Amino acid sequence: MKVGVLGGGQLGRMMALAGVPLGQEFVFLDPAEDACAGVVGDLICAPYDDEAALAQLADAVDIVTYDFENVPVASARSLSDSLPVFPRYQALEVSQDRLREKTFFSDAGIPCALFASVDSYDDLVSAADEMGYPCVLKTRRMGYDGKGQRIIQDRQQVDQAWSDLGGQALILEAFVRFKRELSIIAARSTRGETVFYPLTENRHKDGILITSFAPANAGLLVERARAYAIKVLDNLDYCGVLTIEFFDVDDGLVANEMAPRVHNSGHWTIDGAVTSQFENHLRAIMGWPLGSTDPVGASAMLNWIGAMPDPSNALSYPNAHWHDYGKKPRAGRKVGHVTINAENILALQAELGKFALALGEQLKESGVEAFTRGH
């Protein structure tokens, strides 16, 4: 089966690495000539709304999916006239717009932060005063890795936030004091089968995910997260992998955002679960039985941000699973990750300590140090 993917970044690349052993071949549509998924499939290099390119993709493949959620809804919708497109484009509509997303959570009975639409300076002032401080002003669209957000600590910071972000559709959200971020990754197949991975605990630095830990020690929160995920899957008639990020707060979970795709916080599943999120996404959209989501011991996933470390240092630790996305170095860019596994959480801490030693001077940039201290 030929799979078309809108977007040819590292998620598409890892999807193809999981799909080729299933007998699939891949065609990516991406505006970047050096889209890193191109080495494991064909690459159509064009804007996402290029009609000729979309037609070329539709001709070449049997099914279409995404490697990121900010592709134009119109492109997904037009492709779905001629072939199966999963997840359905309605999931893109919801997840592309923070206001629609929060409204969707709220309507589905999933707790989320108080929010208000902000289209003018007056909207902002009145919403902030009503909501109280601190609060967070965000662009409704195209936010990722902490981009397009300003925390407003008090009334005095309102004008600066407006001057930074004003002039586009915005949302103001109450600031959530959380203990940690947890994410759930679910997969639902076209046959209606649903599976869940264990919850993952995530840590960010400068708004970018740097480390994930799984299975998170989350007790009763696991069932709650699954119940919320089922609401999203049901309400969107969803097929494929879905990710929801939650804040862990005193009285339960607060949904932060959802991604209608495989997710960075699920990269540990490649080396730390029986079946990876990438494989289950592909099985789900093809209508194949889903694979086991059981974890194999405990895993830590560390993102490489900006540039890859020297493998000859890092891999002197023999249990590391290396993932170089083949991307050019650039500040703040996710260029790869590494996964460390162990039998259980205690053993994992010890293994992470050994890995930190192998990394040596690269330690400071890696986030490993904070990670081993924190657990």
Interacting residue ranges for a copy of itself, rule: CB under 8 A:
13, 16-17, 20-23, 25-26, 39-41, 274-275, 283, 288-292, 294, 296, 308, 311-312, 315-316, 318-324, 326, 336, 341
The sign one gets for the Cα dihedral 219, 196, 345, 350 is negative
How far CA 51 is from CA of 56, 57, 58, 72, 237, in Å, comes to 9, 10, 10, 12, 27
Instruction: Quote the CA–CA distance of 281 and 241 in Å, as a whole number.
Output: 5
Q: For a copy of itself, which is the closer residue by CB, 14 or 124?
A: 14
Q: For a copy of itself, which is the closer residue by CB, 9 or 148?
A: 9
Q: For a copy of itself, which is the closer residue by CB, 137 or 241?
A: 241
For the CB of residue 232, give the shortest distance to a copy of itself in the complex, in Å. Answer: 23
My answer on whether omega of the bond before 134 falls inside 30° of 0, hence cis, is yes
How far CA 182 is from CA of 160, 224, 341, 371, in Å, comes to 31, 12, 19, 15
Q: For a copy of itself, which is the closer residue by CB, 122 or 361?
A: 361
Instruction: Quote the CA–CA distance of 357 and 364 in Å, as a whole number.
Output: 11
Closest CA to 182 of 194, 161, 199: 199
Q: Which two tokens stand for residue 176?
A: 């959530």
Q: For a copy of itself, which is the closer residue by CB, 100 or 321?
A: 321
| Ramachandran angles phi, psi of 174, nearest 5° | -65, 145
Q: Which two tokens stand for residue 218?
A: 């989350």
For the CB of residue 16, give the shortest distance to a copy of itself in the complex, in Å. Answer: 8
For the CB of residue 281, give the shortest distance to a copy of itself in the complex, in Å. Answer: 15
For the CB of residue 336, give the shortest distance to a copy of itself in the complex, in Å. Answer: 8
Task: Identify residue 298 by its one-letter amino acid code.
Answer: A
For the CB of residue 284, give the shortest distance to a copy of itself in the complex, in Å. Answer: 12
Q: For a copy of itself, which is the closer residue by CB, 118 or 308?
A: 308
Assign residue 197 a region (left: φ > 0; alpha: ψ between -120 and 50; beta: otherwise): beta
For the CB of residue 270, give the shortest distance to a copy of itself in the complex, in Å. Answer: 8
Tell me the H-state helices in the chain: 10-19, 51-60, 73-79, 89-96, 98-107, 121-131, 158-165, 221-235, 269-272, 277-286, 311-314, 345-359, 363-366, 368-374
My answer on whether omega of the bond before 47 falls inside 30° of 0, hence cis, is no
For the CB of residue 293, give the shortest distance to a copy of itself in the complex, in Å. Answer: 9
For the CB of residue 62, give the shortest distance to a copy of itself in the complex, in Å. Answer: 14
Residues 6+ apart with CB under 8 A from 198: 214, 215, 216, 222, 293, 295
For the CB of residue 325, give the shortest distance to a copy of itself in the complex, in Å. Answer: 8
CB 29 within 8 A of CB 52: no
For the CB of residue 145, give the shortest distance to a copy of itself in the complex, in Å. Answer: 22
Q: For a copy of itself, which is the closer residue by CB, 114 or 296?
A: 296
Q: For a copy of itself, which is the closer residue by CB, 101 or 351?
A: 351
Place of tokens 């540990």: 268
SS3 117: strand
Q: For a copy of itself, which is the closer residue by CB, 26 or 238?
A: 26
Q: For a copy of itself, which is the closer residue by CB, 110 or 335?
A: 335
